[in-house]
Structure 1
Amino acid sequence: MSDTQEHQAGQDAARPQRTIKSFVMRAGRMTEGQQRGLEQGWPKYGLALEDGLRDFDQVFGRQAPRTFEIGFGMGHSTLEMAAAAPEQDFIGVEVHKPGVGALLSGMQAQGLTNIRVYSCDALEVLRHCVADASLDRVLLFFPDPWHKKRHHKRRIVQPAFAELVRQKLKIGGVLHMATDWEPYAEHMLEVMQVAPGYRNLAQDGRFVPRPDDRPMTKFERRGERLGHGVWDLLFQRID
Structure 2
Amino acid sequence: MTSWVINIRIGLYNMLDSLADPNVAITIGLVLALGIIATVKRFLDTSGIFAAGIIGIIVGIGGHWTWLAILLMFLVTGSFATRWSYDEKDAMGLAEAREGARNWTNVIANGGAPALVSMIAWLSSDSIIWAAPFLAAVAVASADTLASEFGVLDPRVRMIISGKHVAAGTNGGTSPTGQLAAAAGSLLISFLGCILFTTFSVGFDADIVRVFCVVSLMGWTGCQVDSILGALFENRGLMTKGQVNLVSIAFGAGATFLLLGLI
TM-score of the alignment, normalized to the shorter chain, above 0.5: no
Question: Greater helix percent: which structure?
Answer: 2
Question: Greater strand percent: which structure?
Answer: 1
TM-score bracket relative to the smaller structure: under 0.3
> Normalising by structure 1, what TM-score?
0.26
> Normalising by structure 2, what TM-score?
0.25
